[in-house]
Structure 1
Amino acid sequence: MYEMDNRTIHYHKEIRRLFDDPSQRGVFRIDEQTVGVTDGPLSKAILAARPMYDFERIVFKPILGQPIAKATFSAVMRAVGQDARRVAESPPEPGPRLAGRWPDAGYLYLQQRLYASDPWPIYALTHRVANRTGWLKPLVDGLSSRLMTRLLHRCAPIHSSALAQLVNEAPDAHERRRAVTLYRRTARSMCITVACLVTNALWLASARDARERPRDCITETLRLMPPAWMYHRNACQEFTAVDARIRETDDVLVIPLITQRDPRHWPDADAYEPDRWLGVSNPEASDHYLPFGHSHDRCWARELVLMLAEHTIRQIAMQDHWTDSRQTSVQVPLKSLLCPTRVNVVAV
C-alpha cells in the first residue's frame, strides 16, 4: 500500500514485495532460472547486450512460425504513425465519452478514434475480448481474413485507417492472413498502452498540471508508474559477459519500476513531482530512466504513444473531466502492463 496526497495505491503482493524487500535490488535471484535486475546502468547494459529475439517481441513476433520481414515492419510503422498523427492533429470529434471507468473508457475512446472507420471483420479484432484467449487468436485471425477477402470481392472499403489499408492491399490470402494478425496485435497494443499510461496519469497528476504541462506529467508518470514495468529477456551468453552473477541459463527480468524509484538517484523517489523534468530535454539520457527500454531496441511506437497520450490527456482536461475526488484508492494487479483496474473519471 502506498499513499500519495490522501490517495492510496494497493499493489499486488508480488509488486509490494519488490518495493519493500531490500534484497530485491541490484542483481537478485527470483528462482532457479530467473534473475532480476534493478540497477540502472546494469539494466541498460543488459538491454544493450544483444538485440531482442524475434519471439521476445509482442507485436512483431513471428506469425505462424514465420518472422516479420523488415519491409513489413516499416510499412506497419508508417501506417500506425499516419493514424496516430491523424487523431492527435485533428479537432475533437463526437464519440465515446471520456468520463467513465478507466482504462476501459480510454481503450474505447482510442479504439473508436483510430479504427472506427475500418471494415467490420477487422475492426472487431480491436475489441479486447478478441485478444484475451491465446488459442482463440489464430482462429479469429483466420476467420477475419476470410471475411475480408469476401468483402473485398464485393466492394473496396474506403475511409479506413492506414493500418487497415495494409489488409486491404495484401496481394493474396496468405499475406492477408498475416496482415490481419499484425492489425490485431498493433491496434490492441496501441490502444491498451496509451489507455494504461493515461490512466496512471489521471491517478497521479492534477487536472491543472495536465492541462498546462502534459508532457512533464507523462514523463513523471512513466517514471513512477510505467505501464511497461518489466522487460523479460531469455537466457544468453551475452548477459553473463555483462555480469558474472547471471548464468548463461538464466532468464533476466529488468525492472524499471524499481530502477526509476531508486532513492540514491531520485530525490523524493516515491513522490510524484513533474517539476523534476523542467528543462530536461532528453529524460531517457539518464541511466535510471528507461520506460521504453534501451535506445538500441526501444519500444517501436515510443513517439506515437507519447503523442496519443498527450492528446488524450489534453482532451480530458479541456472537457473539464478528471479523476473523481471521492475515489481514494485503486487496485493495481499483477499484469504485463502496470495500471489500476478502475479509475473513475467524472466532470469536475
Structure 2
Amino acid sequence: MAPAAVRDHSVVYAPRIQELLAREEKVFRIDATTVGVSDCHLMAEVVAARPVLATERSVFKPAAGADIHHDSATRTIRALGQDVMAGIRTPPPPARGLSGSWPYAATSYLRRWLFASDPLPVSLLSKRGITRSDTLSRVVDRAVTVWPGSGAEGGGTALAEQIRDASGTQDRKQAVALYRRATATLCDGVAALAGNALWLMGPAREQRGARADLTAVLWETLRLLPPAWMLYRKGGDAYTALHPEIRPTDNVALFPLLMHRHPDYWTDPLEFRPERWAGVADPEKTPAFMPFGFEGARCWAKHLVVPLAERLLTVGLDNGLAIRGPRRDAEVPLRSLLSVRFDAEAGS
C-alpha cells in the first residue's frame, strides 16, 4: 500500500510505518498486547463500543492533577475557534517566515500569526524553543500561573483571556495546560497537513495547476497522508466481542492511514487525485474516510484545520513558496503526527 513515488516526489517512511503499509490483513497483531485494525466497519464498532477515555484525548486529558471538566473543554474549543477565525481575517506575517525546514517553519509561523498578540509570559507557552525543553516548560508554566500578564485593551487572544480570568491557582494551572496543548495541537496539525499537501502537489510548475481547488488538495492529502494516522484505544472487555483476535488485555490501534489506501474502499488508492473530491459536499461522510475520527470521537478542532491550512498554503503559494533544491524524496519519521520533512523557500 506504499507507492514508490507520488508524481515525481517519493516518500520514505520510517521502518515501522513501512511495515504497517506492507500489511494485507485488515485486522492483525502488532505485538503481544496490541491489535491493529484498518477495516472501516470494525473501526467504527471499536469507536462506538465505549466513550473515549480522558487519558486517550490529546488535549483534554487530566492536567494539574485533575480531570478537565466538560465546560472547560467547551470554553477552550470556542476560544480557539475565535482566535483562528480572527487570525484568518488578519494580515499574515511576512512570508519569509515560511522558509526553512518543514513542518517546523510552518508551526512557528502559525504561532506568530495567531498568538503573537498575547502578553509575556503567556506568549512563551507556544514557543517551540520552550516547548522542546521540559525544564523551560515547567518554569514558564509556573511563571504564567503566578503572573499571566495583562494585554492591552482589546489585545491578546481568547485563549489567553481564559488564563487571566481563571479563579484560583488550580484553575489557572489547568488554563495554562489547555493553552499550551490547544495551540500546539492546532499549529502542529495544520503545519503537518499543509506540508504534506505541499509535497504531494509536487514542484512549483505543478502547484499552479493544483491551486484551482486547494480545498480538494487538502482533502486528498488527508486521505493519502493523514497527519492523524492512528487512533489508540486502551484494552478492555468492550472490544472482545467485536473480533476474535481482540483479547480483554489487548489495546487497539486504529489506522486511517491503511484504510484510506485500501483498494476495497478506493479507486486508484495510491494515486494523488484531488479531483476525486470535486462535487463532494461533505467529504467526512465518504465511506472508509476518517481524517478526524468517527462520529462521537471526532477531533475537537476539525472545523478549523482545513480552512487554516488552506489560508496558510494560499499565503505561501502567493509568495512563491516552493520546495528547495533538487531533492525528490522526503522522510516521514515515526511520530504521533504523520508529516513529510523537507526544506522550502518563499520567493523574495
Deviations 1:27-52 (A, max 9, x none): 11111110000111211221222211
Higher alpha-carbon deviation: 197-206 or 315-324: 315-324
Higher alpha-carbon deviation: 188-197 or 282-291: 282-291
Aligned to 1:131: 131
Counterpart residue type for residue 18 of structure 1: L
Asked if 1:43 corresponds to 2:43, the answer is yes
Cα distance in structure 2, aligned partners of 1:96 and 1:121: 25
Indicate if the aligned counterparts of 1:44 and 1:287 stay in contact, CA closer than 8 A: no
Aligned to 1:203: 199
C-alpha RMSD of matched pairs (Å) = 2.1
Deviation, 1:294, is 0.5
Deviations 1:198-227 (A, max 9, x none): 000000024224422011000000000000
Asked if 1:162 corresponds to 2:158, the answer is yes
Indicate if the aligned counterparts of 2:192 and 2:338 stay in contact, CA closer than 8 A: yes
Q: Secondary structure at the match of 1:42?
A: helix
Deviations 1:160-179 (A, max 9, x none): 01111111111222211211
Cα distance in structure 1, aligned partners of 2:291 and 2:134: 26
Cα distance in structure 2, aligned partners of 1:26 and 1:327: 34
Counterpart residue type for residue 59 of structure 1: V
Deviation, 1:327, is 2.5
Indicate if the aligned counterparts of 1:15 and 1:334 stay in contact, CA closer than 8 A: yes
Deviations 1:84-135 (A, max 9, x none): 1011223445465323321111111100011001112121110224333567
Cα distance in structure 1, aligned partners of 2:210 and 2:72: 36
Aligned to 1:191: 187
Aligned to 1:221: 221
Aligned to 1:14: 16
Aligned to 2:88: 88
Matches within 5 A, 1:1-348: 2-22=4-24, 25-94=25-94, 97-132=97-132, 137-148=137-148, 151-152=149-150, 159-205=155-201, 206-324=206-324, 326-347=326-347
Unpaired stretches in structure 1, ≥5 consecutive residues:
none
Cα distance in structure 1, aligned partners of 2:210 and 2:129: 31
Cα distance in structure 2, aligned partners of 1:171 and 1:30: 46
Cα distance in structure 2, aligned partners of 1:316 and 1:95: 7
Cα distance in structure 2, aligned partners of 1:176 and 1:95: 35
Indicate if the aligned counterparts of 2:98 and 2:344 stay in contact, CA closer than 8 A: no
Indicate if the aligned counterparts of 2:197 and 2:221 stay in contact, CA closer than 8 A: yes
Higher alpha-carbon deviation: 225-234 or 276-285: 276-285
Deviation, 1:158, is 5.0
Indicate if the aligned counterparts of 1:41 and 1:287 stay in contact, CA closer than 8 A: no
Q: Secondary structure at the match of 2:208?
A: helix
Relative to the length of structure 1, the TM-score reads 0.92
Counterpart residue type for residue 178 of structure 2: L
Q: Secondary structure at the match of 2:296?
A: helix
Higher alpha-carbon deviation: 129-138 or 96-105: 129-138
Higher alpha-carbon deviation: 213-222 or 94-103: 94-103
Higher alpha-carbon deviation: 231-240 or 296-305: 231-240
